[in-house]
Amino acid sequence: MKARLILASTLIPLGLIIAAVPENTTKPYKLTADELLEEVKSGTQFIGPDQVADMVISKDRFLQLIDVRSAAEYEKFNLPNSINIPLVDILNTEWEGYINQDVKLNVFYSNGTNDANQAWMITRQLGYKNNYVLQGGLNYWAETVLNPEAPASTSPNEEILKYNLRKGAGMALGGEAAETAPSIDAPSAPKPPVQKRAAKKPVQGGC
Amino acid sequence: MGPLIVNEIISQNTNLFLAFIIGIGFGFVLEANGFSSSRRLAGMFYGYDTTVLKVFFTAAIVGAVGLLFMSLFKWIDLSYIYINPTYLWSTLGGGVIMGAGFILGGYCPGTSFCAASIGKLDALAFIGGMFIGIFIFAEGYPLWENFYNAKFLGAPLLSDYFGASRGLLTFLIILVALGMFWVGEWAEKKFAREDYKLNQ
C-alpha cells in the first residue's frame, strides 16, 4: 500500500511535467566544426556541371535541382525542372520535405557557389542527407555546358571528346551551341553523339 | 549525446560489457521480486498475486518518463531508439502461444532462467520445452513464413495513433498503470488463497 503511494506521488507529478512541456524536437548537431571543415576542404559537396547536365538530359528522376537565388532571378533564368528555394527561406518548414529526404539527389545552385554552399552547410549541419552543390554555379555552367569553348585542334583527344559532350548537352539544354554547328577540324577525334554514361557513378562523399 | 552506441561514445565491446552488467542487474531484480517462483508468476492469471503486473508496469512507466526527461535535457535523441517492428498476426499468435506456455509452465522465458539459476527443476524442464519450441519453429519456418511476415505495420506509436504528444500519452499510461495496480491489489484480496502467502 505504502509503496503504491510513494510510486504514485513520484510518477504522477513527473508525468504531469512531461505532459506539459513541449516535446523536444530539436535535432542535435550531427557534425563537429572539425568534421565540417574537413568536408569543406575536401569539397565532397560538389557535383560537376558535366554530371548534372548528363542527369538533366537523361531526365534522371532522382535529380532535384534547387535554385537558391531570389525568386526574381529564378524567374529570369533557371535550369530545367529546378525548384526555387531562396537561401533566406531555406529554414521555412514548407521546404523541409524537399531538403530533408533520402530519395532524391538535391543539387543547390546559385550564380557562383557562395549561396549554394551556404545552403548546403545549413542542411548538412541539420543532418540532412543527399544535398550537393553545383560546382562553379550557373556562371561555370554557362561557360562549360551552354557555351563551351572549343579546344584547339591540337588538344588531346579527351579534351575534344569532353567538348563534344558539352556541346551536345548545351544543345539539348538550349545553349548557344544549338544555333551553330561548327565543324571541328580534328580528324583524330571521332565525333561521338551525346551518350548517356553507361554506369552512373554514385556521388562521391557525403552520406 | 545519446544513444551512446549510435553516436560512438562507447565502443561495441563496452556496449556488450554494459549489457552484461545490466543483464545481471535484471536477473537480480527478477529473483529479488520472487519471479523465480512459478506460483507467483501463475498467480497473475488467477489474481491471487499480481506482482508481475506491478513490477513490469512500474519498469515501463519509469523507463518512459526517464527517456522523455532525458530527451528533454537533450541527453538522448529519441529518433535513434530502436522500436520493434509490428507484424500484427504473428504478434497476436505469438502472444497466445506465449500466454498459454506461461500458464502451463509457470514461467516466461527470462524468469525460467532466473529460476533455473537457483536450482529449480521445473524451470529446467521449461527451458527444455522452450528449446523444443524454438527447434520446431526454425525447422518448420517455411510452413509459417507467410503468417510470420503478414500484416507488417512498421513501428507504429500509440502517441501518433491518438495524435497526442508522447508526454501526454505517458501521463495517461501512468494513470492507467496506477489504476491497474489498485485493481491488482483488490484482486489479491478477493482471490487470496489459504495456501499462498504474499510476501510483502
Integer CA distances (angstroms), A36 to A96, A111, A137, B29, B160, in order: 21, 23, 21, 45, 35
Q: CB–CB of A147/A175 below 8 Å?
A: yes
What pLDDT is attached to residue A176?
Answer: 52
| B76 assigned to some structural domain | yes
Q: Are residues B95 and B141 in the same domain?
A: yes
Q: Are residues B55 and B111 in the same domain?
A: no
Q: Are residues B1 and B79 in the same domain?
A: yes
Q: Are residues B188 and B139 in the same domain?
A: no
Q: CB–CB of B148/B90 below 8 Å?
A: yes
| B105 assigned to some structural domain | yes
Give the count of domains, chain B. Answer: 2
B59 touches chain A (CB under 8 A): no
Question: What is the count of residue pairs from A and B with beta carbons less than 8 Å apart?
Answer: 56
Q: How confident is the model at residue A30 (pLDDT cuts 50, 70, 90)?
A: low
Q: Are residues B3 and B79 in the same domain?
A: yes
How far off is chain B from A29, nearest CA to CA, in Å?
10
What pLDDT is attached to residue A163?
Answer: 79
What pLDDT is attached to residue B132?
Answer: 94
Q: CB–CB of A39/A124 below 8 Å?
A: yes
Neighbour count for residue B1 (Cβ, 10 Å):
12
Q: What's the full length of chain B, in residues?
A: 200
A29 touches chain B (CB under 8 A): no
Percentage of chain A beyond pLDDT 70 is 80
d(CA A171, CA A173): 5
Task: Please name the amino acid found at residue B54.
Answer: K
What pLDDT is attached to residue B89?
Answer: 92
What pLDDT is attached to residue A25?
Answer: 59
What string of pLDDT tens digits covers the 200 residues of chain B?
667 776 677 888 888 999 999 999 999 988 888 888 888 888 888 889 888 888 889 999 999 999 999 888 888 888 778 888 889 999 999 999 999 988 888 898 889 999 999 999 999 999 999 999 999 999 999 999 999 888 888 888 888 888 888 889 999 999 999 999 999 989 988 888 877 877 64
Contact residues for A51 (Cβ-Cβ < 8 A; gap 6+): none
- Report the pLDDT averaged over residues A143-148: 80
Q: What is the pLDDT of residues A89-133, one digit of tens each?
A: 888 888 888 888 878 889 999 988 888 998 998 888 887 888 899
Within chain A, strands assigned E span 46-47, 63-67, 82-84, 105-109, 131-134
Q: Are residues B1 and B74 in the same domain?
A: yes
How far off is chain B from A28, nearest CA to CA, in Å?
8
Which DSSP string do the residues of chain B spell out, in sequence order? -B-TTTTTSS-HHHHHHHHHHHHHHHHHHHHHTTTT-HHHHHHHHHTS--HHHHHHHHHHHHHHHHHHHHHHTTSB-GGGS-----BHHHHHHHHHHHHHHHHHHS--HHHHHHHHHTT-HHHHHHHHHHHHHHHHHHHTHHHHHHHHH-SB--S--HHHHHT--HHHHHHHHHHHHHHHHHHHHHHHHHT--TT-----
Q: Are residues B79 and B106 in the same domain?
A: no
Which H/E stretch holds residue A38? helix A33-42
Q: Are residues B66 and B16 in the same domain?
A: yes
Q: Which residue has the cell 523541409?
A: A96
Nearest by CB to residue A11, choosing from B61, B74, B166, is: B61
How far off is chain A from B174, nearest CA to CA, in Å?
7
User: Given 3-state DSSP classes, what are the helix, strand and coil percentages for chain A, each rounded to the nearest 5?
Assistant: 45, 10, 45
* pTM (predicted TM-score): 0.55
Q: Looking at beta carbons, which pairs linking A83-86 to residues 24 or more positions away fall under 8 Å?
A: A85/A119
Provide the residue range defining the domain that includes B4.
1-83+162-195
* Pairing state between β A63-67 and A105-109: parallel
Q: Mutation test of the interface with chain A: which of B77, B189, B199, choosing the one with the most A Cβ atoms within 10 A?
A: B77
Q: CB–CB of B87/B153 below 8 Å?
A: yes
Residue of A nearest to B67 (CA): A18
Q: CB–CB of B159/B50 below 8 Å?
A: no
Complex ipTM = 0.72
Q: Which residues of B touch A14 (CB under 8 A)?
A: 65, 69
A1 touches chain B (CB under 8 A): yes
Q: Which residues of A touch B168 (CB under 8 A)?
A: 19
A127 touches chain B (CB under 8 A): no
Question: Taking a contact as any Cβ pair under 8 Å apart, which residues of chain B between 78 and 107 contact chain A?
Answer: 79
Nearest by CB to residue A15, choosing from B71, B174, B185, is: B174
Q: Are residues B39 and B132 in the same domain?
A: no
Q: Are residues B78 and B102 in the same domain?
A: no
Q: How confident is the model at residue A26 (pLDDT cuts 50, 70, 90)?
A: low
Q: Which residues of A touch B58 (CB under 8 A)?
A: 7
Q: Are residues B145 and B187 in the same domain?
A: no
| CA B24 to chain centroid | 16
Sheet of A105-109: strand order equals: A46-47, A131-134, A105-109, A63-67, A82-84
What pLDDT is attached to residue A1?
Answer: 59
* Pairing state between β A131-134 and A82-84: unpaired
Neighbour count for residue B102 (Cβ, 10 Å):
20
| φ, ψ (nearest 5 deg) of residue A128 | -75, 150
Q: CB–CB of B126/B107 below 8 Å?
A: yes
Asked, as a colleague might, if the bond just before A156 is cis with ω within 30 of 0, I would say no
Q: Which residues of A touch B74 (CB under 8 A)?
A: 24, 26, 28
| B200 assigned to some structural domain | no
Q: Are residues B11 and B36 in the same domain?
A: yes
